[in-house]
Amino acid sequence: MSSSVETRSGTDTCGPRIKARFLGESATAQFARFVFVGASSNILYAGVFIALAAAGSFTANIAGIAASTVLANELHRRHTFHAVDRVGWLQAQWEAGGLALVGLALGTAALAAVHVLFPGASSFVQILAVIGVSAATGALRFVALRGWVF
């Protein structure tokens, strides 16, 4: 019996294969990283929002959006799309930031539409509308970032 740990049917290479697939350049790998970056930047948004809540929700929201967008754009440039050699920091912030503003405008418009069309809508309905629009614009943002910016 050998001193090394034996595995069945090559499962010892499962971890490296998953890592290689996640770090690859396929649309699936990039989308998985895109979602991970989005979640990470939302954590920063929440932290900034909470830290600045005493200054008012509008100020806290704008600061949180600005900080999380800059972080997300840089993480997308470096990790999601591996574009450091192709796209500079300022270009990424300008183009990807513009796309983020379009998404913000669409989410705000969806919320306004809910208020106009359904004045008595619950917070739950409002949240569902914003999440739905955010998901759709997020998918479109991924396509635009992948095909145009990075």
Query: 24-48, pLDDT tens digit by residue?
Result: 789 999 999 999 999 899 899 889 9
Whether 2 has a pLDDT exceeding 70, the answer reads no
Q: Residue 39 sits in which domain range?
A: 11-149
**78 is written with which tokens?**
């470096």
- Residue 133 inside a domain? The answer is yes
**Residue 4 banded pLDDT, cuts 50, 70, 90:** very low
Whether 55 has a pLDDT exceeding 90, the answer reads yes
- Residue 51 inside a domain? The answer is yes
Quickly list H helices, 23-86: 27-52, 57-75
CA 51/CA 79 separation, integer angstroms: 27
Pick the more confident residue, 107 or 65: 65
- CA 39 remoteness from chain centre: 6
Which residue has tokens 């929201």? Answer: 61
CA 99/CA 103 separation, integer angstroms: 6
Pick the more confident residue, 135 or 18: 135
Cα separation values, 58 from 40, 55, 76, 98, Å: 22, 8, 26, 20
- Residue 3 inside a domain? The answer is no
When the pLDDT of each residue in the chain is averaged and rounded to a whole number, the result is 84
What 8-state DSSP symbol labels residue 1?
Answer: -
- Residue 2 inside a domain? The answer is no
In the Cβ-directed half-sphere of 12, how many Cα atoms lie within 13 Å? 6
Whether 19 has a pLDDT exceeding 80, the answer reads no
Q: Kindly state the percentage of the chain with pLDDT values over 70.
A: 89
Q: Residue 12: what pLDDT?
A: 57
- How many domains does the chain fold into? 1
- Residue 92 inside a domain? The answer is yes
- Residue 1 inside a domain? The answer is no
